[in-house]
Structure 1
Amino acid sequence: MTAERINPPGLSRATGFSHAVVGTGTRVVFLAGQTALDADGKITGSGLAEQFEQALTNLLAALRAAGGAPSDLARVTVYATDVAAYRAHAPELGRVWRRLAGRDYPAMAVVEVVRLWDEEAMVELDGFAVLP
């Protein structure tokens, strides 16, 4: 994908996300919501950072299976059961993101939800990518 990440000077500084991503490619991959489920269908990780890492690992595994790479992500939505906890752990979550996905940030949003499908899940990520 050719991705142009746009962060206009009139908006707040984009830290850990891009305000807009213009993707040019031939395939769009829609990625289903991923939580911290392991291969046996069990939620792993007792803390937010551990669950975020597993959810992102799962999202990137689905993307790679479709022929994409983290830099192809155009949009990711994070659903968190506790946005205050998410904000408190933001530096650690940012380090996890950079280690697994690099610094080509997609357009992102974080949304607080009452609960997720799996009651033990604290975070879920979904998104889409544009592949070359």
Structure 2
Amino acid sequence: MSVERVNPAGLSPPSGFSHAVVATGSRLVFLAGQTALDADGKVVGDTLPEQFERALGNLLAALHAAGGAPADLVRVTVYVMDVAEYRAQAPQLGAVWGRLAGRDYPAMAVVGIVRLWDERALVELDGFAVLP
């Protein structure tokens, strides 16, 4: 697989995402939305950073089970209940991302939403990856 992260000079410098990702490979992995659920199906964590860490960990566990690694992610969407809080917590969330997924950022979007399936959930991540 080859991945090229494209960040044109004419666009605002990306921070924590890539403007575009060109990927070639033979397998696509579509990752379902993951929240901060534990193995018993209970939301864990009371804060956005705690829930983000668990949701990202769950997304990466699903990717790993499919044979992929964080660098294989080409697209991630973050659905969040409170965009202002997400922006305020961005440095801490970025540190969580770096620790769990590294610095090879996929194309990303953050979308403010009204609610998630589980009323205690503050954030959900989904995405897809391209594997060799």
2:111 and 2:128 map into 1 onto residues whose CA distance is 17
> Hey, what does 2:25 align to over in structure 1?
25
Q: Which aligned segments of 4 or more residues in structure 1 are displaced greater than 2 angstroms?
A: none
- 1:32 Cα offset (Å): 0.1
Structure 2 distance, partners of 1:17, 1:67, is 23
Alpha-carbon separation, structure 2, partners of 1:2 and 1:17: 18
What residue number does 1:65 align with? 65
Shift of 1:80: 0.1
TM-score w.r.t. structure 1 length? 1.00
Separation in 2 of the partners of 1:77 and 1:6? Answer: 18
Q: Size of the alignment, in residue pairs?
A: 132
1:103 positional shift = 0.2
Unaligned stretches of 5+ residues in structure 2: none
What residue number does 1:34 align with? 34
Aligned equivalent of 1:122: 122
3-state SS, counterpart of residue 124 of structure 1: strand
C-alpha root-mean-square deviation of aligned residues, in Å?
Answer: 0.3
Equivalence for 1:51: 51
Query: How do 1:79-98 and structure 2 match up within 5 A?
Result: 79-98=79-98
SS in 2 for 1:116: coil
- 2:14 maps to what in 1? 14
1:16 deviates by 0.3
Cα shift readout 1:79-118 (whole Å, capped 9, x = no counterpart): 0000000000000000000000000000000000000000
What corresponds to 1:74 in structure 2?
74
Query: Which whole-Å CA distance do the structure 2 matches of 1:90 and 1:24 have between them?
Result: 30
| Distance in 2 of aligned mates of 1:33 and 1:61 | 12
Residue 129 of structure 1 deviates from its aligned partner by 0.1
Q: Residue type of the partner of 1:14?
A: P
Report 1:94-113 matches (<5 A).
94-113=94-113
CA distance in 2 between counterparts of 1:85 and 1:2 reads 35
